Structure 1
Amino acid sequence: MEYIRKYLDGIVVQSDDDWAYFSSRLSKAVFPKKTIILQSGQTENYLSFIEQGIIRYFIPGIDKEVTFGFSFENEFESCYDSLLTQSRSVYSTETLTDTILWRISYADLQAIYANTHAGNTIGRLAAEDLFVKKAKRELSLLNEHAAQRYNKLFTERPHLIKQIPLKYIASYIGITPQALSRIRKAIS
């Protein structure tokens, strides 16, 4: 748990009392590779911080799934729209590697907002982090070619992207696995 405190102390000043209150509501969850964390149709109840692992966000489909996001170590993870509205999620989350999360429930998050000085700042920063990732993805799809999207992903996360199956990367950048294979061949 000191790992998460060190991370949070880097972004917001917390008193020891605020940390004690916050940390008493955190729970550690360990998931093996290829575990569905939240199934489409369920309501998200947690905001999580990834200590270790990679999580994929996807829309399940009868013919094919559409991968639209990833979260990595030292990032927040949640089906955030479902968490905020306490309504059913239209997408799912899955671990791509063995994953360790530090989770806080919706009810405990509301208590932290109400009872700590740093809580609202932490919540705002988590929301901003999730929003920025979403906005970057949308802008990338609108403004960049598939090869540019692949290069950007590879440049930003070279050691982590090697752990993601190519079919998920292809879906994420909006192309077929065959088109991704041609892009990778042209680059090398």
Structure 2
Amino acid sequence: MDQIRDYFEQLVGINDSDWQQFSSKLRKSEYPKKTNLLKVGQTENYLSFIEKGSVRLYFPKEENDLTFGFCFEGQFVSAYDSFLTQKPCDYQIETMTKTTLWRISHQDLQYIYANTSIGNTIGRLAAESQFLLKSERELSFLNESAEERYRSLFKNRPKLILEIPLKYIASYVGVTPQALSRIRKRIS
């Protein structure tokens, strides 16, 4: 939980009273590798902070899932569109490693918004975090080749290559596993 407070302290600062109210609503959850946190058709009820581990966001397909996002230690994760609208989700969220999350429910976050001076800032920071991840991904698909996306991913997240199966990385980069293999050979 200290990791979350440190996150907010670095960005905006949070007084003890607001932290006590916010932290009292957080619930620690631990999940083994390959656990579905959210399935297609379910409504996202949590905004989660990853203390340890990694997760992927994906569209399940019969042959190959379409991975469109990864989240790691020190980041927020949520099917944020479903969380905001409280409508069923079109994709899934799954742990890729043993993962520890600190979660706040939609209802509890609404309470924090209404009853703390920092509540709206917390919500804004979480929303900005989710937006930046989405924006970065969209821009990479518009401006970079698959090889450039892979290089960028490898540069920004070197641990990723060790922790995540290559088929997920290939899907994220937008190529087949065979094409990713060729890219890797070319740049090594």
Q: Provide, for residues 3-41 of structure 1, a one-character-per-residue CA deviation record: whole Å limited to 9, x for no partner.
A: 321222111221111011001000001000111100011
Stretch moving more, 12-21 or 24-33? 12-21
Q: What is the alpha-carbon distance in structure 2 between the residues aligned to residue 104 and residue 69 of structure 1?
A: 21
- Partner of 2:25, secondary structure, is coil
Aligned length, in residue pairs: 188
- Partner of 1:24, secondary structure, is helix
> Which residue in 1 is equivalent to 2:72?
72
Give the deviation of 1:63 after TM superposition: 2.8
Q: What is the alpha-carbon distance in structure 2 between the residues aligned to residue 40 and residue 161 of structure 1?
A: 27
Q: What is the alpha-carbon distance in structure 2 between the residues aligned to residue 109 and residue 79 of structure 1?
A: 15
Alignment of 1:26-175 (within 5 A): 26-175=26-175
Stretch moving more, 97-106 or 4-13? 4-13
> Which residue in 1 is equivalent to 2:22?
22
Structure 1 unaligned blocks of 5 or more: none
Q: What is the alpha-carbon distance in structure 1 between the residues aligned to residue 73 and residue 80 of structure 2?
A: 17
Q: What is the alpha-carbon distance in structure 1 between the residues aligned to residue 56 and residue 95 of structure 2?
A: 6
The aligned amino acid for 2:37 is: I
The aligned amino acid for 1:165 is: P
The aligned amino acid for 1:69 is: G
The aligned amino acid for 2:125 is: L
- Partner of 1:70, secondary structure, is strand
Q: What is the alpha-carbon distance in structure 2 between the residues aligned to residue 186 and residue 66 of structure 1?
A: 24
The Cα RMSD (Å) is 0.8
Stretch moving more, 55-64 or 35-44? 55-64
Runs of 4+, deviation exceeding 4 Å: none
The aligned amino acid for 1:151 is: R
- Partner of 1:90, secondary structure, is coil
Structure 2 unaligned blocks of 5 or more: none
Q: TM-score, normalised by structure 2?
A: 0.98
Q: TM-score, normalised by structure 1?
A: 0.98
Q: What is the alpha-carbon distance in structure 2 between the residues aligned to residue 141 and residue 98 of structure 1?
A: 29
- Partner of 2:175, secondary structure, is coil
The aligned amino acid for 1:49 is: F
Q: What is the alpha-carbon distance in structure 2 between the residues aligned to residue 59 and residue 166 of structure 1?
A: 17
Q: What is the alpha-carbon distance in structure 1 between the residues aligned to residue 44 and residue 38 of structure 2?
A: 7
Question: Given that residues 82 and 89 in structure 1 are in contact (C-alpha distance below 8 angstroms), is that contact kept between their aligned partners in structure 2?
Answer: yes
Q: Provide, for residues 17-72 of structure 1, a one-character-per-residue CA deviation record: whole Å limited to 9, x for no partner.
A: 10110010000010001111000110000000000011000001223210000001
Q: Provide, for residues 130-187 of structure 1, a one-character-per-residue CA deviation record: whole Å limited to 9, x for no partner.
A: 0011011011111110000000000001023320100000000110000000000001
Stretch moving more, 97-106 or 8-17? 8-17
Question: Given that residues 12 and 122 in structure 1 are in contact (C-alpha distance below 8 angstroms), is that contact kept between their aligned partners in structure 2?
Answer: no
Question: Given that residues 25 and 104 in structure 2 are in contact (C-alpha distance below 8 angstroms), is that contact kept between their aligned partners in structure 1?
Answer: yes
The aligned amino acid for 2:174 is: G
The aligned amino acid for 2:159 is: H
Q: What is the alpha-carbon distance in structure 1 between the residues aligned to residue 4 and residue 138 of structure 2?
A: 29
